Structure 1
Amino acid sequence: GGRLIFGTSTVKQVRNSHSFIKDMDDEYQLYHESGSFVRFLVSWSSSYSLLWKRIAQLARDIAQAGFWKSKEVNIMDAWLADLHSVGYSFPSIISPSSPLIIQKRAAVCVTGFAECIQEAWVPTWSTIRNHLQGNIDAFLFLSSSHKLEKIPFDVNLKQIRAYLNSTVTILYEDRVIDPHIPSNCKTFYYPPMSRSHVIPYYQQLWGLAECFDLVKEYEQKMNIRYEFLIRARPDSVLNRVPQALEPVNNSTLVIPNENGFGGYNDRFAIGSMSIMEKYMRRWHDLSRCYIENLHAESFLKLLLNRFNINVQLMKTLSYEQQPHGVGRCH
Structure 2
Amino acid sequence: MGRWLWIRKRQWFGLVLLLGLAGILCILQMEIIPISEQPFLPLITVQAHLYNYVHVHAANGVSEKNSTQTATKKNRTAICLIGGARKFELTGPSLLEYVVNMYNNSDVFLHAPLDNDTYKFSVLKEASSGLAEVRIFTPQRINETTLQAEVFTSNGSPNGLQGLLQYFNLVEGCLTMIKSYQTKHNVEYDWIVRTRVDGYWNGPLPSPETYSNKSYIVPVGSEYKGLNDRLGIGDMETSEAALSRISLIPLLHESGYRKLNSEAAFQHQLDVKGVNYTLKTFPFCILSEHKYIWPIPSWGVPVASISSKEDLNGAYCRPCTPVLKGTGAMTYIEKRLRRPWSWIVPTPGIELCNARDEWKENWEHIFDEAAGPKFSAVRHKFKNYTVTDCIIDFEALKQKTTDWDAPPPETICNIHFQHSQID
What one-letter code is carried by the residue in structure 2 that aligns with 1:264?
Answer: L
What one-letter code is carried by the residue in structure 1 that aligns with 2:182?
Answer: E
CA 1:241–1:163 in structure 2 vs 1: closer, same or farther (change >3 Å)?
A: closer
Post-superposition CA distance 1:155-190 (Å, at most 9, x none): x3222146323222121121021254538x843539
Find out whether 1:292 has 2:292 as its counterpart: no
Question: 1:210 Cα shift?
Answer: 1.6
Find out whether 1:323 has 2:271 as its counterpart: no
Post-superposition CA distance 1:190-246 (Å, at most 9, x none): 9x3357232122101011112211111111111111111001111012335575355
Alignment gaps of 5+ in structure 2: 1-72, 290-357, 365-378, 380-423
Structure with the largest fraction of helix: 2
Question: 1:116 Cα shift?
Answer: 2.6
Matches within 5 A, 1:245-264: 248-264=211-227
The counterpart of 2:80, out of the listed 109, 123, 139, is 109
Q: Which residue of 1 aligns with 2:135?
A: 170
Q: Which residue of 1 aligns with 2:308?
A: none
What one-letter code is carried by the residue in structure 2 that aligns with 1:313?
Answer: L
SS where residue 193 of structure 2 aligns? Answer: strand
Partners in 2 of 1:123 and 1:144 — Cα distance?
22
Partners in 1 of 2:188 and 2:157 — Cα distance?
40
Partners in 1 of 2:144 and 2:75 — Cα distance?
33
Question: 1:104 Cα shift?
Answer: 5.7
Find out whether 1:193 has 2:193 as its counterpart: no
> For the Cα contact (< 8 Å) 2:99–2:205, is it kept in 1?
no
> For the Cα contact (< 8 Å) 1:181–1:287, is it kept in 2?
no
CA 1:210–1:188 in structure 2 vs 1: closer, same or farther (change >3 Å)?
A: closer
SS where residue 159 of structure 2 aligns? Answer: helix
The counterpart of 1:158, out of the listed 119, 125, 147, is 119
> For the Cα contact (< 8 Å) 1:112–1:143, is it kept in 2?
yes
> For the Cα contact (< 8 Å) 1:239–1:319, is it kept in 2?
yes
Q: Which residue of 1 aligns with 2:410?
A: none
Find out whether 1:144 has 2:117 as its counterpart: no
Partners in 1 of 2:138 and 2:274 — Cα distance?
35
Alignment gaps of 5+ in structure 1: 1-101, 146-152
SS where residue 217 of structure 2 aligns? Answer: strand
Q: Which residue of 1 aligns with 2:32?
A: none
> For the Cα contact (< 8 Å) 1:120–1:234, is it kept in 2?
yes
SS where residue 178 of structure 1 aligns? Answer: coil
What one-letter code is carried by the residue in structure 2 that aligns with 1:160?
Answer: F
> For the Cα contact (< 8 Å) 1:247–1:254, is it kept in 2?
no
The counterpart of 1:282, out of the listed 228, 245, 250, is 245
The counterpart of 1:313, out of the listed 273, 279, 301, is 279
> For the Cα contact (< 8 Å) 2:157–2:163, is it kept in 1?
no
Matches within 5 A, 1:90-129: 105-128=76-99
> For the Cα contact (< 8 Å) 1:110–1:231, is it kept in 2?
yes
Partners in 2 of 1:319 and 1:162 — Cα distance?
19
Matched pairs, number: 215
> For the Cα contact (< 8 Å) 2:87–2:198, is it kept in 1?
yes
Partners in 2 of 1:197 and 1:216 — Cα distance?
30
What one-letter code is carried by the residue in structure 2 that aligns with 1:261?
Answer: Y
Partners in 2 of 1:287 and 1:181 — Cα distance?
11
By relative contact order (CA 8 Å, sep 6+), the higher-ranking structure is 1
TM-score scaled to structure 2, two decimals? 0.46
Partners in 2 of 1:187 and 1:272 — Cα distance?
27
CA 1:178–1:249 in structure 2 vs 1: closer, same or farther (change >3 Å)?
A: same
Post-superposition CA distance 1:70-93 (Å, at most 9, x none): xxxxxxxxxxxxxxxxxxxxxxxx
Find out whether 1:218 has 2:181 as its counterpart: yes
What one-letter code is carried by the residue in structure 2 that aligns with 1:233?
Answer: R
